[in-house]
Structure formats: C-alpha cells, structure tokens
C-alpha cells in the first residue's frame, strides 16, 4: 500500500535519509523507532510532501507527487507532534476541520455529527465547547487524534501520539489505534519513543539503526541487539503472561 523505492529525503541541500526501501502493508500497525534526531519525523513528513523526495514513494501504486493535496487528504490523515494555535477556536471546531477534504463549503450538521462521534471516541466530550488555547498539551493531542479520525482516511499517521499523555491516556490512545485497525481495517503508522508500546501494540516496526532502516515483525526487530545498536543501551527481554517486554538496564 505504501512503498518506498530507493528514496532519499532532504531539506534543500541537507540530506537526512537515503536508501529507503520498504513497504508498509494495508491494515497493519507500524511503529517507527529510533533515537532523537535520526529522522523519524522527516520520514513521516515525506508522506505529506513536506520534504524533498528523490526516488519513489508510492501510495496505492501511485507516486505521491501525482496526488493533489485534497486527494491525498482523503487517503492519509496526520496527527502532528504538537500544534499551537493562537486563535481560541473551540475543540469541536478544530475537530470538524478534519472534514475539510470532504466538503466544499462550511461544515454541515452532518459534519458536526461525525466530529462528535470521534470526540466521544477519544473521550474528550467534556471539552468540546472549550477553546483549544485553554486545554493541556495531552488534551490537545487527543483533539488532533479526533480531528484525524474525522478525515475518515484509510491511513492514519501519528507523530509521537503518546508524548504528552499520562500513562492512562497512553494506553487509551494505543487501544483506540488497535481498535481502528480491528474494526475499520485502518493502516496506522506512528513514531514512538517507548519500544515497549511498539512491542505491545504494533504488528511491525521500522527501526533506525546507525543511519539505515530495519523493518519486520515488532517481536523480531525489537530485540537486545538492535536496541543496543540503535540507542546504545542495554536491555533484556522479559515475558509476562505470554507478553514480551523489554527491561532496560
């Protein structure tokens, strides 16, 4: 469904990633892991066309550069890392903005009904009339997840969806993502900082290791040796109630 063929990504003359060759399959949850500054966000940005691309990124067999923005917005929705807004739009107005690709004019009653459904799904109904400028970083993250869901795309890309969330909301968001895959067959791609979340909730993992990329089943890729090579830290796999976890030393 998403294929990277000999892709090189740069910001102007500054080359960030090269020799990217992999496929992300439909209906799978894929995590992207790697140390700060290795290029995870850059990789996701390439799916928005925000980076200079050499080689080919194919979405459903079509080169990403051939899509019009509106067409792409019906296929891929993005949840950014953090999003500041200076105007005090209410939460429900931000979320309904996810309908933009589907409408020609102002949002209809039906669009607000759809946004309400996703506001409920991520558990922020109590915030819907509150200005976005008056909610916390974690709550903002949930707002942008609801907004992306409102776009009703097959693919959802999330840049560190748990970074501002407390432990309860981290689990809620991971379960929402799992549920989207199970019930709606969505393809989810997310950057994460916690290998244990990737191990527990994603089918596949793409890990940056010394400038190159390894991809495979999460349980195979997230291991002692790759963690050492990628992050330079020691770890051990432990098993609890038939689940695998990493213990960091």
Ligand X SMILES: Nc1ncnc2c1ncn2[C@@H]1O[C@H](COP(=O)(O)OP(=O)(O)OP(=O)(O)O)[C@@H](O)[C@H]1O
Give the residue with the Cβ less far from ligand X, 41 or 205.
41
**Residue linked to tokens 């998403």:** 2
When asked if residue 16 is in the footprint of ligand X (CB under 6 A), the reply is: yes
In the complex, what is the shortest distance from the CB of residue 245 to ligand X, in angstroms, rounded to a whole number?
22
When asked if residue 31 is in the footprint of ligand X (CB under 6 A), the reply is: no
Give the residue with the Cβ less far from ligand X, 91 or 173.
173
Single residue of 39, 80, 107, 161 touching ligand X by CB under 6 A: 39
In the complex, what is the shortest distance from the CB of residue 78 to ligand X, in angstroms, rounded to a whole number?
14
DSSP 27: T
Interaction residues for ligand X, span 71-110 (CB under 6 A): none
Decide: helix, strand or coil at residue 58. Answer: strand
Sheet holding 212-217, edge to edge: 76-79, 155-159, 187-191, 29-33, 204-209, 212-217
In the complex, what is the shortest distance from the CB of residue 138 to ligand X, in angstroms, rounded to a whole number?
17
Decide: helix, strand or coil at residue 157. Answer: strand
Single residue of 20, 29, 33, 41 touching ligand X by CB under 6 A: 41
Query: Is 198 within 8 Å of 192 (Cβ atoms)?
Result: yes
Cα 7 to Cα 18: distance, rounded to the nearest angstrom = 6
Give the residue with the Cβ less far from ligand X, 36 or 183.
36
When asked if residue 37 is in the footprint of ligand X (CB under 6 A), the reply is: yes
Give the residue with the Cβ less far from ligand X, 127 or 156.
156
Single residue of 42, 90, 100, 214 touching ligand X by CB under 6 A: 42
Q: Which ranges of 73-162 would DSSP assign to H, the alpha helix? A: 91-96, 109-121, 137-150
Residue 35 phi/psi, 5-degree rounding, is: -70, 165
When asked if residue 34 is in the footprint of ligand X (CB under 6 A), the reply is: yes
Give the residue with the Cβ less far from ligand X, 150 or 209.
209
Single residue of 38, 53, 94, 190 touching ligand X by CB under 6 A: 38
Cα four-point dihedral sign 13, 76, 101, 41: negative
Give the residue with the Cβ less far from ligand X, 15 or 71.
15
Cα 249 to Cα 244: distance, rounded to the nearest angstrom = 16
Cα 213 to Cα 230: distance, rounded to the nearest angstrom = 10
The backbone region for 27, taken as left when phi is positive above 0, alpha when psi lies in -120 to 50, beta otherwise, is left
When asked if residue 14 is in the footprint of ligand X (CB under 6 A), the reply is: yes
Q: How many residues bind ligand X (CB under 6 A)?
A: 11
Single residue of 4, 7, 30, 40 touching ligand X by CB under 6 A: 40
- Interacting residues with ligand X (CB under 6 A): 11, 14, 16, 34, 36-42
């Amino acid at each position: 469904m998403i294929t990277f063929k000999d892709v090189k990504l740069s910001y102007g003359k500054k080359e960030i990633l090269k020799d990217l060759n992999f496929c992300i399959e439909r209906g799978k949850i894929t995590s992207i892991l790697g140390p700060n500054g290795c290029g995870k966000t850059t990789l996701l940005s390439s799916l928005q066309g925000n980076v200079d691309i050499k080689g080919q990124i194919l979405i459903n067999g079509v080169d990403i550069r051939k899509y019009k923005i509106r067409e792409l917005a019906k296929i891929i929705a993005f949840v950014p890392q953090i999003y500041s807004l200076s105007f005090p739009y209410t939460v429900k107005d931000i979320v309904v903005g996810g309908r933009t690709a589907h409408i020609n004019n102002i949002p209809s009653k039906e669009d607000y009904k759809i946004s309400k459904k996703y506001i409920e799904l991520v558990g922020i109904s109590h915030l819907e009339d509150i200005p976005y400028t008056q909610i916390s970083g974690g709550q903002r993250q949930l707002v942008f997840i609801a907004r992306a869901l409102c776009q009703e795309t097959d693919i959802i890309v999330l840049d560190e969806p748990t970074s501002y969330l407390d432990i309860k909301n981290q689990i809620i968001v991971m379960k929402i993502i799992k549920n989207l895959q199970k019930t709606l067959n969505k393809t989810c791609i997310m950057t994460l900082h916690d290998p244990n979340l990737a191990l527990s909730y994603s089918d596949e993992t793409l890990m940056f290791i010394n400038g190159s990329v390894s991809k495979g089943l999460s349980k195979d890729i997230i291991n002692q040796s790759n963690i050492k090579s990628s992050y330079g830290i020691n770890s051990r796999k432990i098993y609890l109630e038939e689940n695998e976890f990493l213990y960091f030393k």
